[in-house]
Amino acid sequence: MRRVKIIGGAITKFGRHLDRNLKSLVAEAVNGALADAGIAKEQLQGAWVGNASQGVLQGQESIRGQVVLNPLGIVGIPVINVENACASSATALNGAWAMVALGEIEVALVVGMEKMFFEERSRVLPAFTGCMDVETLAQAMEAFKKAEEKIARDREAMGGDQKKKSGQRTVFMDVYAMGARHHMQKYGSTQRQMAVIASKNHFHSSMNPLAQYQTKFTVEEVLAAPEVAYPLTRPMCSPIGDGAAAAIIASDAFARKIGASHTVDIAACLLGSGEGGLATEEGTLTKLAKRAYEKAGIGPEDIDLAEVHDATAFGEMGATEALMFCPEGEGGLWAEAGHSTLGGKLPVNVSGGLESQGHPIGATGIRQVVEIYWHLTNRAGERQVRGAKVGLAQNAGGTVGGGPGALSVTILKA
């Protein structure tokens, strides 16, 4: 297996782009990545395109990558379309990495893309329910309903006020909320600790011009916000939006041949799927992380920064435990101690994460990787993690059998 490097990357601003189509967003990301790498489109030997929901949302099936790349003149090369829930573009990276590592090609394009925001919000919900086992979805929704009714009864019995509810939500917020309540009961973690994580990520995003949200929230403001599904309030949850990200990966020989200016090694690029368990992904993600650390020749103590899949603040709490950044059950305490904040022991989601950077689901995996790439090449601007040499990106997607449908762990080295 050959050494594989990232030699360029770009991300569009994530957000609500009602005036732009997917082709426009992809063009911005791809042209930016090519310019960053210092190569021409004619040098590409393959393209892997990750997208989760354009079939459901816009009826575009089968050849989504070809449709967005053809207008750019990227033709005549293999285009591989990858659909794997929120981990679609992380899975695309794995496929491109493997072909370069095996020596089949020298340089490849990896794209993640999604256009999810429409004025008619109900139009988007099937894109999320389709990331679950639809045959058991009715049973799951009944379980979520009963859980919420119990919470309401418990609050009433204790004389507590019913919080103002946020608007329409996706089913995954219920999944994460159930996982959060389980974690609170098992380990004594608190809603305030999740608010600390959300506040930290909104602070990080205030330094990220590409983030969907760039407004700071105090812990108290996070707690006071409308409730999505207890214990999650609106600032603890990722928004729906549009965006694209792209990276150029190449063999070490190709990178040297062209004199690439900014390169990092892909030290590990692994995929997995769930084995049950709640939204913490405990067990499954830890096994995958151990394999990634072994392949990269490092341990969790060697990671300088991480981008993890925080579709909710609880998602980050569980991921920091499963990735062994802190002991099991202590993700909330670890965040409260400031370890995951920029300038802390191991900054997590310095981009703002999914909660603030945004989560156009098919774009997130490669967006996380490009963010790490920028830090390792000292180009992250105001939010730069000083002296960063090793970074980790963790992505997850869908749910089946009570666990994640897709998982990825990617480790980059300067």
> What is the set of active-site residues?
86, 359
Cis-peptide into 300, omega within 30 deg: no
Mutual angle of helices 313-322 and 171-187, in 10-degree steps: 50
What count of other Cβ atoms lies within 10 Å of the Cβ of residue 229?
Answer: 26
CB 353 within 8 A of CB 316: yes
Pairing of strands 390-400, 305-307: parallel
User: Taking the C-alpha atoms of 25, 405, 392 and 68 in order, what is their torsion angle to the nearest 10 degrees?
Assistant: -20
Q: How far apart are CA 8 and CA 36, in angstroms?
A: 5
Residue 78 in tokens: 């293999």
Parallel, antiparallel or unpaired: strands 47-50 and 79-82: parallel
d(CA 260, CA 255): 5
In 14-171 the beta strands, taken as DSSP E runs, fall at 47-50, 79-82, 107-115
CB 408 within 8 A of CB 271: yes
Q: With 0-12 CB in 10 A as exposed, 13-18 as middle and 19+ as buried, what is 76?
A: exposed
Helix, strand, coil % over all residues of the chain, rounded to 5:
45, 20, 35
Cα–Cα distance for residue pair 86/17, rounded to 1 Å: 19
Could you tell me if 110 and 46 are in contact, meaning their C-beta atoms sit under 8 angstroms apart? no
Nearest to 402 by CA among 263, 223, 280, 261: 280
